[in-house]
Every structure is written in C-alpha cells, then in structure tokens.
Amino acid sequence: MSGSSVYRRARTALASATAMAAAAVGLWTGLGGESAHAAGAVPTPDHVVVVVFENHSYSQVIGSSSAPYINSLKTGGANLSQAYAETHPSQPNYFALFSGSTQGITDDSCYTPGFSSAPNLASELQSAGKTWASYNESLPSQGSTTCSSGNYARKHNPWFGFSNVPTSTAKTFGQFPTDYTTLPDISFVVPNLCSDMHDCSVSTGDTWLKNNLGAYATWAKTHNSLLVVTFDEDNRLSGNRIPTVFYGQPVTPGSSTATTYNHYDLLRTLEDLKGLTAHAGNAASAKDITGIWTA
C-alpha cells in the first residue's frame, strides 16, 4: 500500500470519528434536531410523588432539629439550596407549580371549579397516555370540590381549577396505595392544614411525612422512583426561599445544587422526567433541575 493510500485512509477514519463525536455532543446538548430530554439531562423514574408543605423558609426546615426526617432525606438524597416560590399567598404558588402560571389567582379565595382549560401537568400526562392522581388528606370524598372541610382546604388543590383534569383523579389520602407499583406516573400528596405545617409545627409535619411516606421513600430508593418534598412559599421573611429535597434511586446521595430554581423549573423537570414534549405556561422557558442525578 502506498504512503498516499495510508494517509487517505487515516484521514477518512479521523473524519468519521470526528463526526460521531459531534453527533454525540449534539444529542447530549439537544442540538442537531434532538431534544434536550433525549440527551438524558434528567432520569426517567417509574414513579414520582411530590409532597407540598406550607409557609416555611429554608432555614426553618433545613438543618433544623425540628425536621429530622426531612433532613435525613436531604442527607440521603439531594438538596436544592436556592429554591424559591413565586409569590404570596399560598394559592397562586400551587397553580404555578401545577400549570406554569398563577392563572390570575392572587389570593386564597375559593375559586370556581373548572374555571380554566389551560394546559397543566395532569392534562399533559393524560394526553401522553400517562397517569396522574392527587392524594389529599382530609378531602371529604374522592373528587369533592368543597372549599373546606375540617382541616381540608381546596386552596391547596389547583387541579380542581381545570376543566381538562377529571375531578375523579383527586383522591383521598386514604386511597394512597400500599402497593407502590400501582402508583401513577406522577402524583401529588397534599397534607391537611395541620400536617402541612400551616397550622401546626414543623415537627408535626416532619413526623407526618415519616409516618405516611417513609415506606414509599425507602421503596423508591431501590425501585427507580422519586420522592420530592417542597413548599408552597416561605414565612414572608426570607425572600421566598423554600426547602426542596429530592430522594430516590435516581438521586445522588448527599448531592446539592446552589443553582437558583423556582416552581416553574420544578414543573419543567417533572414534565421532562416523564418525557413530555409539551410544557405548560412558564415551564416552556424554564430549566431542568440538574447536578443531582446519578449517572
């Protein structure tokens, strides 16, 4: 073989390797027509359970002796040290987290059920053939749209505001399955006004979480599933900086990120965890939560 032939073959091999490397980079970054989700920026857990607590700042929970269980989840999972809510009071933040918009809600008044047909996490999941449910402590009955009942308050349940979300997907917490393999793709758990730390102490909410979802958290660690613990807003004294912790098999234990995130980023991440191509409201321009996932 001549020297020129060897050179040509070497040059062709180098060009091929370079093209393959460029394609890999394009896939990972979302360039070249591939989506960012296809790149594996976030994992693909089988089940995601999101629990929303109330009205406490980051420093009131993270590092607090009153919240030993949440802090154990932080240690064994991931901590978002710069997570923020959007506004005050509570209700607009729930709509933001669920639909990427406050939907014009500015207070905690009892809204009209089904007042909006805007896209939201549940409608997107259902359109994609995936499953959704909420589990609401002290809800009088499955699908009940009552404004309040004892320690139950609909202001913490944005799904009832959307005509494209069946009310039957709002279940009582007593319906939370003991066979976790039957959980929906994504579900929200909303404790009542005492258990969510709104009317009762941080310690009360922390104990409730351990007693009611501790078994799921342990299961999630070995079953490609995820528990997310977050808050609607702070105590109005800390710039709306809130605790947010991720725990489960896809999460790197002891990881943390100081990147600034908000409820829209969390919604975007939930959508992308399930490979949804649609993104509701401000989630369309939000970013995925990264830097906490196992390889």
pLDDT tens profile 178-233: 999 999 999 999 999 999 999 999 999 999 999 999 999 999 999 999 999 999 99
More confident: 121 or 5: 121
Euclidean distance between the first and the last CA atom of the chain, given in angstroms as a whole number: 45
Token duo for residue 216: 């799921």
Confidence of residue 295 (pLDDT cuts 50, 70, 90): confident
- Residues of the chain above pLDDT 70, percent: 86
Quote the crossing angle between the two packed helices 263-273 and 90-99, to the nearest 10°. 30
The residues pairing with 7 across neighbouring beta strands, listed in sequence order, are: none
Residue 274 DSSP label: T
The CATH classification number of 43-285 equals 3.40.720.10
Range name among 34-48, 83-97, 128-142, 235-249 with the lowest pLDDT average: 34-48
pTM of the predicted structure, to 2 decimals: 0.87
Confidence of residue 40 (pLDDT cuts 50, 70, 90): low
Token duo for residue 240: 């709306």
Average pLDDT over residues 27-49: 59
Mean confidence (pLDDT) of the chain: 90
Residue 183 DSSP label: S
3-class DSSP state for residue 217? helix
pLDDT tens profile 250-268: 999 999 999 999 999 999 9
The answer to whether the CB of 71 falls within 8 A of the CB of 250 is no
Q: What is the pLDDT of residue 292?
A: 98
Q: Transcribe 107-147 into DSSP letters.
A: SS--PPTT-B----HHHHHHHTT--EEEEETT-SSTT---S
Torsion of CA 231, 177, 160, 235, to 10 degrees: -10
Token duo for residue 283: 């989630």
pLDDT tens profile 114-150: 999 999 999 999 999 999 999 999 999 999 999 999 9
CA 100, CA 267: separation in Å to the nearest integer?
A: 7
Confidence of residue 31 (pLDDT cuts 50, 70, 90): very low
Helices and strands: H and E segment counts in the chain? 7, 13
Q: What is the pLDDT of residue 179?
A: 98
Q: What is the pLDDT of residue 20?
A: 38
